[in-house]
Amino acid sequence: MTDEYNQWDIVLAGVVFEEKDEEKRRPVVIAEDNKYYILGFYTTKQRKGKSDEFSINYWAQAGLTYPTFIRLGKVLELDKSRIIHKLGRLHPKDIIRLEEVLNK
């Protein structure tokens, strides 16, 4: 496992959800790599129809197994020790679209 990650990398991590006290392995999109923690976005394969959902069009090329959505309204502060391994990286076209959405 590497200790350095780049913005828009996708990692598999043990995520503890607020509403439950259990850890689940979930893909996380890296927004920022700090020395002590990762700031990232939750992902989901179940579209909920919320305005903060961003569709990853090139999900297979990004190392994901299912069509996936980024939940932009849910930012995650993740301890690096919870990262299991890197899955891939967002496709350049998805990065351009995501940055356009984030900069609005």
- Give residue-wise pLDDT tens across range 23-62: 889 999 999 887 666 778 888 887 777 778 899 999 999 9
pLDDT for 47: 77
pLDDT for 1: 47
H or E element, residue 32: strand 23-33
Residues 6+ apart with CB under 8 A from 21: none
Closest CA to 43 of 60, 29, 32: 29
Domain spanning 9-102: CATH 3.90.25.10: no
Q: For 73-92, how does the pLDDT look when each residue is reduced to its tens digit (9 = 90+)? A: 888 888 889 999 999 999 99
pLDDT for 92: 97
Q: Is the pLDDT of residue 64 over 90?
A: yes
Which tokens go with 81? 């020790």
